[in-house]
Amino acid sequence: MEPSEMNANAHSFDVTIQDFPDRVIQSSHTQPVLVDFWATWCGPCKTLTPILEQLAEDYGGAFLLAKVDIDKEAALANHHGVRSVPTVLLYKGGQPVDGFTGAQPEGAIRALLAHHGIEPPPISALDEGLQALESGRLDAAQRLLETALAEEPGNTQATVGLARLAAARGDVKAARDQLEALTEVQRQSPEAGAVSAWLELNAFIADGPPPQALQDMLQKWPDDLEAGFRLAIWRLLAGDAEASVADLLAIMQKDRQFRDDGARKALLLVFDYLGASHPLVRKARGRMAMLLN
């Protein structure tokens, strides 16, 4: 895919010799403009341009990105003395004030921008908290998400984030309390649905035998569907989703009447818990459909 075909954002655009004076020179009096000279045949351009586009989005309008195809805009490239691509120029106050030639790492580009006082917007407590949650830094996530909720009581993302955090810690009560704080509409989000599914799955194994005891039971009685069902849930919550799904599909194949089609119903909860985009979900749905036919 060529740079001009890549998904641009609100802060990046293609520019020609006709609109360069307005969109770059004039605009740079109020907002810095990074000009990316590139070509379709340029390999390094295909690496650099996506980095620049992502930075333009991340910086949220702190600078604009203007992209120039030198094969279509040779006169514009010649006017700027472009001899090789990629070449990047930074315009401020109607003039080029800095730049570089060749692909550069993201850190070097950020340093150049910072040198000219161009910084990304500060990250919010909510965004930082969600990032901490995704990376498993649960204590930091709790502190930041609670801060976000204090700043905006009732915030859906913060509340669901705290529910997900409670689920990650295995705290059923805290997860349920956070979900109950949501409105019916807020509970419709996939993230809230995942926590709700987690709570229902936990209910299957509450006050039941631990995993090792279930394994011992299955060694003695391999056809014990109840033990197999509970062990499948334990495996999911311990992180072995593939084994869990395989076990539930096997139970579904053996006996659809077990727990009133309980294996299929549990699989639907597993799908909600994992999320529709999870590759295992797509595969398991196909297998389930075959069993239902």
Q: Which residues form the catalytic set? A: 42, 45
DSSP states along 206-229: TTS--HHHHHHHHHH-TT-HHHHH
CA–CA dist 83, 89 (Å, integer): 13
Q: How many CB atoms are closer than 10 A to CB 270?
A: 23
- Give every CB contact of residue 67 below 8 A, 6+ residues apart in sequence: 3, 4, 12, 13, 14, 15, 35, 36, 38, 49
Q: How many CA within 13 A on the CB side of residue 221?
A: 9
The runs of H, that is alpha helices, within 59-155 are 74-79, 106-115, 125-134, 138-151
Q: Rounded to whole angstroms, how far apart are CA atoms 261 and 272?
A: 17
Q: Are 69 and 14 in contact (CB under 8 A)?
A: yes
**Cβ neighbours of residue 215 under 8 Å, at least 6 residues apart?**
231
| Torsion sign (Cα): 179, 182, 185, 186 | negative
Order across the sheet with 12-14: list the strands. Answer: 12-14, 64-69, 33-38, 87-92, 95-101
